């Protein structure tokens, strides 16, 4: 609901603040006082298009601020600034947003019915959602089934599309992929092979110097005239002959003995390593050639050996898929056909549920219209079938109406008269207002072309709707104004330099006077005051 609005330097309004309430808020005033200007300001705060003509003469900018709640009770502060230079700034809770963002939020807050552009029921795209909400218990399960089957169906179609796209791309590269696969298979790649080759090549390239070093070490230990091993053996034997004389000598003897046997093992390992070294130019050339092959493959594909092995397996799978494309395509097409049949059946069941709901809704809307001075009107919900499946089925739903006898049914959006449109919207809101989730309804010119009993019916219906929705209504008819829970008067004053408009919340006695003015004009008599009180009492007894 709209709780508060502040308007500064907008048209003939210098500054006014209005605190709205729950229920039916009535706004009245003399012709030209600025009633529609207030609604225009509300419309701008809710995201309608701005015009520099709205800026009050002599002011640099117009500023409109609004406090509103959505249906969940969350409060928002909306702000709109329009500069005389043409710039417009929108804010939500103090943060600058785009006009589209402001409009999207505003559609959840209020519907303006009249000559403005916040008329949600005039958007044919929303008609199907209103119909679904009207009979949600019957329609929602069928709708959920359609949604589930639709996603399954579209997923299968996406798989087929991807398969055909990939197959088309792969078939153009079949020969190239086959060549690359053969090249990688012939390479017989092994994990860790490149690192091992580098080590072996390094060893082979240095085998001569390694042999010389090992031979020299072996000679120093075992084969030279003064080799270390025999000398160490002699030293060990001599110390061993003294070990019985003290523990310290015994320990020394054991240490020398251990050194001797360790050196003997080293000598054997040196000899074995030396004797195992061979230098083969052929083997070196083979390993260099193998490493060169690996390097070329890695540079070509930008991958290491492990990556090349993965790529080889990927190529093999892609070629296998290309060869098996026909079988997989046929299998997917069968699944799609089966899913399409199931989805078609679900769409038909959803459409049947919608048509049953539409029949009931048509009757109720037609009855409401007849009570709102549209005795010759006809209302119909038209169904068409879309060419494609959608998540919401195949129905295209649009509300159609004829307001005069003999005229053909036309789309709801083609109704030209603001007053007629407001009353038509009122009929819709009486029936489906509880389903659209919009807490506030604003009606301007709803009383155009009606009077007497029809006006009383309009007032009564707005009172009924206002028990579940906030309504803000501009009217000049006392029969409608009498049903208000809160009454505001817009008044215009002038001085020598400018014109000013203000909005005043009336108390009980002031409301009686205002309704008397609506009944009898500027000349208010005791008779018109009595009639005003009688009208108010009658409306409250009905409420």
| β pairing state of 486-494 and 378-390 | unpaired
Query: How much is the average pLDDT of 167-193?
Result: 79
Q: Which residues contact 151 (CB under 8 A, 6 or more apart)?
A: 391
Structure confidence at residue 170 as a pLDDT band (50, 70, 90): low
Domain boundary among 305, 323, 341: 323
Asked if residue 192 and residue 102 are part of one domain, the reply reads no
Asked if residue 206 and residue 318 are part of one domain, the reply reads yes
Task: Read off the pLDDT of residues 480-525 as tens digits, 9 standing for 90 and up.
Answer: 899 999 999 988 877 777 777 788 899 999 999 989 988 887 778 8
Contact 478, 518 (CB under 8 A): yes
Closest alpha carbon to 442 in 3, 43, 4: 43
Does 411 fall in a domain? no
Asked if residue 315 and residue 187 are part of one domain, the reply reads yes
Does 169 fall in a domain? no
| Cα separation, 266 vs 268, whole angstroms | 5
Asked if residue 87 and residue 189 are part of one domain, the reply reads no
Asked if residue 72 and residue 198 are part of one domain, the reply reads no
Asked if residue 201 and residue 96 are part of one domain, the reply reads no
Return the CATH number at 531: 3.40.50.300
Sheet strands (E) in 57-191: 61-69, 75-83, 88-92, 95-97, 110-113
pTM: 0.58
Asked if residue 206 and residue 79 are part of one domain, the reply reads no
Task: Read off the pLDDT of residues 86-135 as tens digits, 9 standing for 90 and up.
Answer: 888 999 999 999 988 988 888 888 877 654 434 567 778 888 988 888 88
The domain total for the chain is 2
| Cα separation, 464 vs 427, whole angstroms | 11
Domain boundary among 272, 288, 323: 323
Does 405 fall in a domain? no
Beta bridge partners of 5: 18, 66
Question: What pLDDT is stored for residue 116 in this prediction?
Answer: 42
Asked if residue 310 and residue 196 are part of one domain, the reply reads yes
User: 103-117, 193-207, 348-362: lowest mean pLDDT where?
Assistant: 103-117
Question: What pLDDT is stored for residue 34 in this prediction?
Answer: 65
Asked if residue 182 and residue 264 are part of one domain, the reply reads yes
Using a pLDDT cut of 70, give the percent of the chain over it. 93
Task: Read off the pLDDT of residues 130-144 as tens digits, 9 standing for 90 and up.
Answer: 888 888 888 999 999
| Cα separation, 14 vs 8, whole angstroms | 5
Does 523 fall in a domain? yes
Asked if residue 198 and residue 93 are part of one domain, the reply reads no
Does 511 fall in a domain? yes
Question: What pLDDT is stored for residue 543 in this prediction?
Answer: 57
Domain boundary among 323, 347, 381: 323
Does 155 fall in a domain? no
More confident residue, 445 or 230: 230
Contact 20, 85 (CB under 8 A): no
Asked if residue 208 and residue 319 are part of one domain, the reply reads yes
Q: Which residues contact 308 (CB under 8 A, 6 or more apart)?
A: 184, 187, 189, 297, 298, 301
**Is residue 2 classed as helix, strand or coil in its secondary structure?**
strand
Contact 23, 471 (CB under 8 A): yes
Query: How much is the average pLDDT of 247-263?
Result: 89
Q: Which domain holds residue 11?
A: 2-109+438-542
Does 160 fall in a domain? no
| Cα separation, 69 vs 73, whole angstroms | 5
DSSP 3-43: EEEEEEEETTEEEEEEE--SSEEEEEE-TTSSHHHHHHHHH
The H or E element that residue 14 is part of is strand 13-19
Does 126 fall in a domain? no
Question: What pLDDT is stored for residue 114 in this prediction?
Answer: 57
Asked if residue 207 and residue 297 are part of one domain, the reply reads yes
Check pLDDT > 60 for residue 251. Answer: yes
């Amino acid at each position: 609901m709209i709780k508060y609005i502040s308007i500064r330097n907008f048209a003939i309004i210098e500054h006014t603040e209005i605190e709205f309430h729950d229920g039916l808020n009535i706004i009245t005033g003399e012709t030209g006082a600025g009633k529609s200007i207030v609604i225009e300001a509300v419309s701008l705060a809710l995201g309608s298009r701005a015009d520099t003509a709205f800026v009050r003469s002599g002011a640099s900018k117009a500023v409109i601020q609004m406090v509103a709640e959505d249906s969940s009770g969350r409060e928002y502060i909306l702000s709109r600034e329009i500069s005389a230079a043409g710039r417009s700034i929108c804010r939500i809770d103090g943060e600058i947003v785009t006009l589209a963002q402001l409009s999207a939020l505003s559609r959840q807050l209020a519907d303006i019915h009249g000559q403005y552009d916040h008329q949600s029921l005039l958007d044919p795209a929303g008609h199907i959602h209103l119909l679904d909400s009207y009979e949600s218990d019957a329609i929602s399960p069928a709708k959920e089934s359609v949604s589930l089957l639709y996603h399954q169906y579209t997923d299968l179609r996406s798989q087929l599309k991807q398969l055909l796209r990939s197959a088309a791309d792969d078939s153009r590269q079949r020969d190239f992929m086959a060549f690359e696969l053969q090249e990688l298979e012939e390479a017989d790649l092994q994990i860790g092979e490149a690192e091992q080759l580098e080590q072996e090549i390094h060893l082979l390239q240095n085998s001569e110097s390694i042999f010389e070093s090992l031979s020299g070490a072996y000679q120093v230990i075992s084969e030279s005239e003064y080799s270390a091993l025999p000398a160490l053996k002699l030293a060990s034997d001599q110390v061993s002959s003294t070990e019985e004389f003290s523990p310290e000598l015994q320990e020394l003897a054991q240490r020398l003995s251990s050194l001797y046997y360790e050196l003997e093992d080293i000598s054997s390992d040196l000899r074995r390593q030396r004797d195992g070294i061979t230098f083969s130019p052929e083997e070196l050339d083979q390993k260099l050639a193998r490493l060169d092959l690996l390097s070329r493959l890695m540079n070509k594909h930008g991958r290491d050996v492990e990556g090349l092995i993965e790529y080889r397996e990927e190529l093999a799978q892609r070629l296998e898929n290309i060869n098996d494309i026909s079988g997989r395509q046929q299998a997917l097409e069968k699944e799609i056909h089966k899913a399409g049949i199931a989805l078609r059946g679900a769409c038909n069941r959803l459409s049947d549920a919608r048509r049953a709901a539409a029949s009931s809704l048509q009757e109720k809307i037609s009855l409401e219209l007849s009570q709102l001075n549209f005795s010759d009107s006809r209302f119909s919900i038209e169904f068409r079938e879309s060419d494609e499946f959608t998540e919401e089925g195949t129905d295209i739903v649009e509300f159609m109406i004829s307001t005069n006898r003999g005229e053909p049914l036309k789309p709801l959006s083609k109704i030209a008269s603001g007053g007629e449109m407001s009353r038509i919207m009122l009929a819709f809101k009486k029936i489906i207002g509880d389903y659209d989730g919009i807490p506030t309804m604003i009606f301007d010119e709803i009383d155009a072309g009606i009077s007497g009993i029809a006006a009383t019916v309009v007032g009564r219906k707005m009172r009924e709707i206002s028990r579940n929705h906030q309504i803000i209504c501009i009217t000049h008819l006392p029969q409608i104004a009498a049903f208000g829970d809160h009454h505001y008067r817009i008044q215009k004053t002038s001085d020598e330099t400018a014109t000013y408009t203000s909005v005043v919340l009336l108390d009980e006695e002031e409301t009686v006077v205002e309704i008397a003015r609506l009944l009898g004009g500027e000349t208010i008599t005791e008779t018109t005051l009595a009639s005003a009180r009688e009208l108010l009492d009658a409306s409250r007894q009905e409420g």
